[in-house]
């Protein structure tokens, strides 16, 4: 029996050594810092724009003159606990993107006791997938008293596979490494809502004051057509909230040219600026619609806006036959193209 003792001891020692072999940590790679924000051809709700208080998402600072209703940008708060006390982080944990797109995530690190003026927030990665590129804008310095802020720029390749992709982004200051935080990318086939920086050629705004719905539709010079439909905005209630749906389509060159030719030839520019329906007589008196319509055309260097109120539609807003013929012709030409629209986003409209 003794002759097996020594080999058994050797086996146990080998097993013990294997169990406690050190595990190598992934190499931390600093995210490159850019001196300026990249410039792109399209604007999106999660673009970063300068404000008096620093950078902010476009969706949060759209001016009163901005006709786009950008989707909300969801952020995720995280509580951090250190020996020095509680801190908090706010960033975008989930981002939806199409292949080839770039999106932004602001990181806000807050500490009740504050940070020194010399401290900066910097990013690093470990085992980042090749299909994802990251860069940082800004020094990550003080944004507000007690808060460090910096922007993470996330670009996915054209060849990235559909589905969910995850990576971790590391945060550190000059005095502490906060570790890595998850970011999940959902790769979809439909591009995120984006609009050109130039003004639309045609804008249609149709409100139903009593029904509580609203349609905003813009047609841009490159053929992009964007529709925003709000429903249930008059009396939103718990369990039946108001909703906002974004739809887009791209008109062919012939479709766009035909639409613009209709506007030019219709006599739209000779119309007055406002028309009101006088009412339709029936057994109980005069009937009116609750519609408020505005169409603005900017074609061949001419811009004109026509408003109409109170008209009735026999076919669910496909037409308003009692409007002036020139206005009806333009309205119906625009509406005839809306069958091409495809839903890209739908969200609840926050109350308040």
Per-residue model confidence (pLDDT) at position 18:
41
Instruction: Give φ, ψ of 332 to 5 degrees.
Output: -70, -30
State the number of CA atoms in the 13 A half-sphere of 29 facing the CB.
12
| CATH number of residue 227's parent domain | 3.30.1560.10
- Tell me, yes or no, whether 2 lies in a domain: no
Mean pLDDT value across the chain:
84
Q: Which helix (H) or strand (E) holds 147?
A: strand 147-156
Q: Looking at the predicted structure, is the pLDDT value of residue 135 above 80?
A: yes
Whether residue 133 sits in one domain with residue 204: no
Chain mean position to CA 107: 17
Whether residue 234 sits in one domain with residue 117: no
- Tell me, yes or no, whether 192 lies in a domain: no
End position of a domain, from candidates 187, 219, 242 = 187
Whether residue 165 sits in one domain with residue 221: no
Whether residue 217 sits in one domain with residue 179: no
Q: Domain containing 113: what range?
A: 29-187
Token couple for 7 = 């080999």
Higher pLDDT, 338 or 53: 338
Per-residue model confidence (pLDDT) at position 17:
39
Whether residue 220 sits in one domain with residue 152: no
Higher pLDDT, 27 or 319: 319
Strand duo 132-137 + 33-34: pairing:
parallel
Taking only the tens place, the pLDDT of each residue in 84-128 is 778 999 999 999 888 888 999 999 999 888 888 888 899 999 888
- Tell me, yes or no, whether 23 lies in a domain: no
Strand duo 274-276 + 285-287: pairing:
unpaired
- Tell me, yes or no, whether 80 lies in a domain: yes
Whether residue 126 sits in one domain with residue 83: yes
Taking only the tens place, the pLDDT of each residue in 23-72 is 556 788 999 999 888 777 677 888 888 887 778 888 887 654 454 567 77
Among 241, 209, 214, 211, which Cα is nearest to 228's?
214
End position of a domain, from candidates 138, 167, 187 = 187
What is the C-alpha to C-alpha distance for residues 193 and 273, in angstroms, rounded to an integer?
32
Alpha helices in the chain (DSSP H): 5-19, 58-61, 253-266, 325-335
- Give how many domains the chain has, as a whole number: 2
Whether residue 253 sits in one domain with residue 211: yes
Whether residue 127 sits in one domain with residue 207: no
Whether residue 203 sits in one domain with residue 85: no
- Tell me, yes or no, whether 24 lies in a domain: no
| CATH number of residue 125's parent domain | 2.60.40.10
Whether residue 269 sits in one domain with residue 166: no
Whether residue 338 sits in one domain with residue 230: yes
**pLDDT interval class at 348 (50, 70, 90):** confident
- Tell me, yes or no, whether 193 lies in a domain: no
Instruction: Give residues with Cβ within 8 angstroms of 41, minimum separation 6.
Output: 196, 197
Whether residue 115 sits in one domain with residue 94: yes
Per-residue model confidence (pLDDT) at position 4:
43
- Tell me, yes or no, whether 16 lies in a domain: no
End position of a domain, from candidates 156, 187, 218 = 187
Q: Looking at the predicted structure, is the pLDDT value of residue 342 above 70?
A: yes
Among 114, 102, 108, 176, which Cα is nearest to 145's?
114
- Tell me, yes or no, whether 8 lies in a domain: no
By CB neighbour count within 10 A (0-12 exposed, 13-18 middle, 19+ buried), where does 232 fall?
Answer: middle
């Amino acid at each position: 029996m003794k002759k097996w003792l020594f080999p058994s001891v050797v086996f146990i020692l080998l097993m013990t050594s294997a169990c406690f072999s050190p595990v190598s940590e992934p190499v931390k790679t600093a995210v490159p810092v850019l001196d300026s924000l990249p410039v792109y051809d399209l604007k999106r709700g999660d673009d970063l724009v300068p404000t008096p208080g620093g950078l902010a998402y476009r969706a949060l600072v759209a001016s009163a003159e901005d006709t786009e209703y950008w989707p909300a940008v969801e952020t995720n708060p995280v509580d951090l606990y250190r020996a020095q006390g509680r801190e908090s982080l706010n960033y975008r944990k989930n981002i939806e993107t199409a292949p080839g797109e770039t999106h932004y995530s602001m990181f806000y690190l807050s500490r009740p006791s504050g940070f020194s003026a010399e401290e900066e927030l910097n990013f690093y990665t470990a085992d980042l997938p090749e299909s994802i590129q990251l860069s940082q804008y800004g020094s990550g310095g003080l944004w507000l008293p007690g808060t460090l802020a910096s922007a993470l720029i996330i670009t996915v390749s054209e060849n990235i596979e559909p589905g969910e992709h995850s990576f971790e982004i590391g945060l550190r200051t000059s005095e502490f490494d906060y570790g890595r935080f998850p970011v999940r990318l959902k790769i979809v086939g439909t591009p995120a809502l984006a609009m050109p920086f130039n003004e639309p050629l045609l804008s249609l705004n149709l409100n139903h004051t009593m029904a509580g719905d609203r349609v905003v539709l813009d047609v841009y010079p490159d053929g992009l057509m964007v529709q925003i439909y709000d429903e249930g905005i008059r009396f939103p209630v718990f369990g039946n909230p108001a909703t906002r749906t974004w739809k887009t389509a791209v008109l062919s060159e012939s479709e766009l040219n035909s639409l613009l030719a209709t506007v030019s030839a219709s006599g739209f520019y000779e119309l007055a600026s406002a028309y009101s329906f006088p009412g339709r007589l029936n057994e109980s008196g005069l009937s009116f619609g609750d519609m408020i319509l505005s169409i603005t055309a900017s074609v061949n260097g001419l811009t004109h806006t026509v408003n109409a109120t109170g008209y009735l539609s026999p076919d669910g807003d496909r037409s308003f036959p009692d409007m002036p013929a020139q206005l009806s012709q333009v309205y119906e030409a625009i509406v005839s193209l809306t069958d091409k629209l495809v839903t890209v986003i739908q969200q609840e409209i926050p109350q308040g």
